[in-house]
Structure 1
Amino acid sequence: METESILQRAAILFNQGRYQDAAEEAKKALSFQPDHPEALNILAQCHLQAEEPEEAEKVIDTALQIDPTDTTALYLKAAILFQRNKHTKAIKFIDSALSYYPMSADCYGLKAAIFHDLAKFEDALAAANKGLEFDASHLQCLNQRAQALNKLGDAEASQETLKDALSEDPENAFTHTNIGFALLENGQHQEAMKYFREALRLDPNSEMARGGMLHAIKASNLFYRWWLKYVFWLSKMSPKMRIFVIFGGFLMYKFIGSIKASLGVFEPLATLFIWTYLVIAISTWIIQPVSNLFLRFHPFGKFVLSEEEKKYSRYTLVTACLSLVGVALMLSMGTESVESIQWWNMGLYCTCYGVIFMIVSSAVGSVASKKGKRNVKLAGFLFIGWACMVLFLGIFLPVLALKMFNYSAWGFLGFQFYANSQH
């Protein structure tokens, strides 16, 4: 009886968003009954909400060892794997849960979310529709259905579904956030801002709504709106296709650069492509950190930035100053002598590495999981160490420094792919 009263308190605390307190109550219940399935499930959910998927998985694995047919534990295992970007395994566990309880709208809602993350929008729509057959008012299924319809190009049906979701629960922060992103994707950033603001009023801790609000504020800038269109365009592709497009563009840039001199009358077109690619690539890499820096001076935006984003915006300011020093050095130095060429090269190194350091710090800040952030931070420090060595050798061994600098592009590309793999 005491265990049940403790679990009731844990459930109340969890619903209030007090996950740390709820976890303590669940642990207290487990001290009386170590194999209590509800206590294990609540503790796993607390770790999941606290973005501690590794700890959550340990707890839920214990629950599944006790009862491999526990549909709640199977659902939570799938949710944990989804948070860890292990989509294939997540689908297997959600299917296993559905084999024991085939009428679970919760399971179909999660399955739709997993398919959406994989850019399998038709499968996501099918899963959401299946869940709505068992619970026509299920909010996650309604929201996932709306997201899938929007990605498939049926904006009108998507808006109707979102209206249904909003009528079911007008105080649901996730639905308001979802409407905001749908409007943002369709270029209506001012309208989107209203829904993100309402979502944050309902749930001030919603990271999804906060991120949407940041995008909506930044979208007042024309260039940022074009960048968002590019992001939404990529989001409609499968993860493998995104890598193919990004890496394919880089290979095309390298190939055209290697044959440019032999193209004759078409050489100006090749040069135009190369510079266009460089401007677009660098812009897409630095737009987030630079826009966050400018948002520090926005009357409302500065309150939406998280403490971590403010910290990384300070790094952006430092790295931008390094690039400006490099540009100044290049402009002040000629190429008449060996010594002036050496210092012109130093200006080039500072300019390039200033931009690269900005991108590296932004990549570290954008990784959500603690383990992924630690891994990307280590990779970033290794790359920064390489860059510092080039700058040091640029003073004493300029020829060796130039050779090492030429390899930096491949090192940076490797860092980018590794950082993306940790998201």
Structure 2
Amino acid sequence: MRKELFIISLILILCSCAGLLINREARDEYEQGMVLFNQGRYEEAVPRFQKASEIEPGYTEAFIFLGRSYLNLGKWTEAIAPLRTAYRLSPEDTKKEVVNFLLDALIGGALSEFKKENYLSSISYLKEALGADPASDTVKNELVKSLIAFGGELLSEGNAGKAVSMFKEAIEIAPKNLDAYLGLARAFIKDGDYAGAMDVVYDAVKRIATTDEERSAFWDLIREN
């Protein structure tokens, strides 16, 4: 909590130093929103921050706390747009800190979409998150899961060609993911590319599979098809 307050205070100071003049009405709405936010009344704070950001479209703090109010309400997708704007408006010195809130929103939105089996939306959010933080293992892991799930869905719909692309993309991110290799081999088989499937199986058995059970899963796939 102290770290978050420090971050927001730093943003306020930097914005003030930059000579940012805030409309009085927007400032009043923001301050009323902050009172509600600090009391944990996030639902009531939302319209205050919305109004402040509408009156003053360059009001970074209003966008930050609008997004954070949505985060605290578990409304991940609603939090994304204001936090995107806050990230864009933030001074370079504080972008790395503001992006943490945006990542929370994007990951939360992606997980919500994944649960609803909206894999394409989940992938879109996670790719944006990965662009903001390319080193995040959490984002990479969730993106691989979504790509594999979407690949499986495409296979079940008979779209093997597009499924191949999804599994390949998953492997690029996670080169040792067995599920991605199995999915890719299945997609090649469904697409009629048995040579491609065999290449995947040989590669996986040689480099990825570490147990007899894992190796058998690949050979069984070939035998069954």
TM-score range, shorter chain: 0.3 to 0.5
* TM-score (normalised: structure 1): 0.24
TM-score by length of 2: 0.42
Q: Higher relative CO (CA 8 A, sep ≥ 6), structure 1 or 2?
A: 2
